[in-house]
Amino acid sequence: MNRFAELLDRLAYEPGRNNKLRLITAYFRDTPDPDRGYALAALTGALSFKHAKPGLIRDLIADRTDPVLFGLSYDYVGDLSETVALMWPKAPPPGHNNPPPPTLSDVVTTLRTLGKTELPKQLACWLDELDETGRWALLKLVTGAMRIGISARLAKTAAAALGDKDPHEIELIWPGLSPPYLDLFAWLEGRGEKPVNRDPAPFRPVMLAHAIEDSDFANLDPADFIAEWKWDGIRVQAVSGRDERGYMQARLYSRTGEDITKSFPDLLPSLHLPGAIDGELLVLREGRVQTFNVLQQRLNRKIVSPKLMKDFPIHLRAYDLLGDDENDLRELPFDERRAHLEKFIKKLDDPRIDLSPTIAFDSWETLMAARADPASAGAGEDADAVEGVMLKRRDAPYLPGRPKGQWWKWKHDPHIIDAVLMYAQRGHGKRSSYYSDYTFGVWTSGEDGEQLVPVGKAYFGFTDEELLQIDRFVRRNTTEKFGPVRHVVHEPDQGLVLEVAFEGLQRSPRHKSGVAMRFPRISRLRWDKPPREADRLETLERMLKDVTAN
């Protein structure tokens, strides 16, 4: 447990992805079974036991410390588990009867079967045996408050590195595995066969797309790609398979692998052929795709009543076929999978499931025109439910995660304005030595004439080189310093204009400007533009009207 705690502690401070991977892999290499397997389970969220309530922890510490000292300490530290971990009285020095500190396996296996009344005593006993970091990790684990800041994907990638395997291979067999993953580690270390997946309807990790930038098109050949509409519903995976007794099992998963079958019983009868469809869940009324807002009304309900199913008829639009009966199609190129999908949907012959249509195009210009006007390019009356265009390489296998250069999403144009840099703040982690958080503003008429009013904050979108340039600009043009914040010169003829792209606008009484941007990011540095030529608040207000009018 102490060693696992040390890993968690270090991961919590390490900002770099590759460095996190190295730390986790080193842990897997140095830690014996079954401890490392339970660690992998903890890191991937695969552990389950009843969590202890914070009140229980408070009672334990109250029995052992002065309440005034505890109060002062808790105020200072600000976190219950950490305060208790640090304050827990030292156990008597180890005698020959003292047990060694518990391992992670001891903790996990004990917690699985421990009765509620035995928990406080057991916990106290472990807290006596562990060191400060060990106690902290134990308390986070038992209260279910462990936030490690790494994804399950990262933990699996670290495990794969142990055996020099492709993490994709682990993803493929993952649904059939369970803690402490002895067979997995045996395979990774070359001591055993590759485990096989025995779940009749397993989830397959989803493939995701990158947002395409204008500059990307120069290097892409239209002939290499198939285009489809990006439908504004929810991405799902519909899987059917026969269990050992030959019964058909059908399940619906969210794109993160959460089982959402129960919310859509009306779709299950349609999943009557063994296979795995990647598609979009939509609401269709009289054959017309409804907007996301309509779908959302169905999603928000706890109880799925017959009336709800009738008023919001659910539909699956199929993008891809990952499995056809016993055959795993994921290694095939997309155009071959697409051919399988077309056959599969035809054979299925069900009104609730249809094929996502492709968009015919021979150049990026034609596709751009289609994207600008989906209604005339085949989407017809469903155009309102189109969010943009998807581009998929014809030769792309189905890879989990967001592999580079395979799939692209080309959404509607983001909103863009030119704003003036007003304040800069140091970033976090790797960026802590740079001014990388920027507050920007646009012009408005105030009592003292023209003035800049802050409209948003951005800390993404620029390249490393641009970051260095802005950082240098900030340091050389600081007018005032307030703690970590620098005021940067922003006069009509002096200052830096930032081109800011954003996804949407909302009215916001909390902001001085009255508007709030969604996902603003720096899209370009306009060294060429004097601040006086930056946009005005009225431009944003006009955009806001357009948004609400739609």
Catalytic residues: 230
Question: Which H/E stretch holds residue 521?
Answer: strand 521-526
Nearest to 424 by CA among 495, 324, 343: 495
CB atoms within 10 A of CB 196: 10
Nearer to other proteins, 131 or 336 (CB): 131
Three-state SS string across 449-462, please?
EEEEEEEEEECCCC
Contacts of other proteins in 22-41 (CB under 8 A): 22-23, 26
| 466 part of the interface to other proteins, by CB under 8 A | no
Nearer to other proteins, 72 or 196 (CB): 72
> Residues near 461 by Cβ (< 8 Å), separated by ≥ 6?
501, 521, 522, 523
Single out the residue of 68, 218, 303, 549 in contact with other proteins (rule: CB under 8 A).
68
Single out the residue of 113, 117, 300, 433 in contact with other proteins (rule: CB under 8 A).
433
Maximum distance among all Cα pairs of the chain, rounded to whole angstroms:
83
| 463 part of the interface to other proteins, by CB under 8 A | no
How many residues are there in the chain?
550
| 383 part of the interface to other proteins, by CB under 8 A | no
| 432 part of the interface to other proteins, by CB under 8 A | yes
| 494 part of the interface to other proteins, by CB under 8 A | no
* Least distance CB 58 / other proteins (angstroms): 15
Total site size for other proteins, rule CB under 8 A: 34
* Least distance CB 75 / other proteins (angstroms): 9
Locus of tokens 């806001």: 544
Nearest to 170 by CA among 37, 278, 180, 158: 158
Contacts of other proteins in 88-117 (CB under 8 A): 90
| 482 part of the interface to other proteins, by CB under 8 A | no
Are the CB atoms for 356 and 378 separated by under 8 Å?
no
CA dist 447 and 232 (Å) reads 44
Single out the residue of 347, 428, 518, 542 in contact with other proteins (rule: CB under 8 A).
428
Terminal CA-CA length for the chain: 56
* Least distance CB 13 / other proteins (angstroms): 5
Rg (CA), the chain: 28
* Least distance CB 176 / other proteins (angstroms): 32
For the stretch 112-115, contacts whose Cβ atoms lie closer than 8 Å and that sit 24 or more positions apart, written own/partner, are 112/49
* Least distance CB 472 / other proteins (angstroms): 10
Nearest to 437 by CA among 456, 411, 414: 456
| 128 part of the interface to other proteins, by CB under 8 A | no
DSSP string, 489-517: --BTTBS-EEEEEESEEEE-TTSTTSEEE
Stretch that binds other proteins, among 64-72, 244-252, 323-331, 529-537 (CB under 8 A): 64-72
Single out the residue of 132, 169, 199, 266 in contact with other proteins (rule: CB under 8 A).
132
| 66 part of the interface to other proteins, by CB under 8 A | yes
Stretch that binds other proteins, among 72-80, 157-165, 183-191, 215-223 (CB under 8 A): 72-80
* Least distance CB 469 / other proteins (angstroms): 14
| 64 part of the interface to other proteins, by CB under 8 A | no
Single out the residue of 44, 83, 263, 436 in contact with other proteins (rule: CB under 8 A).
83
Residue 364's identity, in one-letter code, is W
DSSP string, 2-19: HHHHHHHHHHHH---HHH
User: Crossing angle of helices 2-13/35-43, nearest 10°?
Assistant: 30
| 469 part of the interface to other proteins, by CB under 8 A | no
| 2 part of the interface to other proteins, by CB under 8 A | no
Nearer to other proteins, 71 or 380 (CB): 71
Q: Side-chain half-sphere of 474: how many Cα atoms within 13 Å?
A: 26
Question: Which H/E stretch holds residue 319?
Answer: strand 314-324
* Contact map string, positions 310 to 349, toward other proteins, x by CB under 8 A: ----------------------------------------
Stretch that binds other proteins, among 372-380, 382-390, 427-435, 511-519 (CB under 8 A): 427-435
Give the footprint of other proteins on this chain (CB under 8 A): 6, 10, 12-16, 19, 22-23, 26, 65-66, 68-70, 72-73, 76-79, 82-83, 86-87, 90, 131-132, 426, 428-429, 432-433
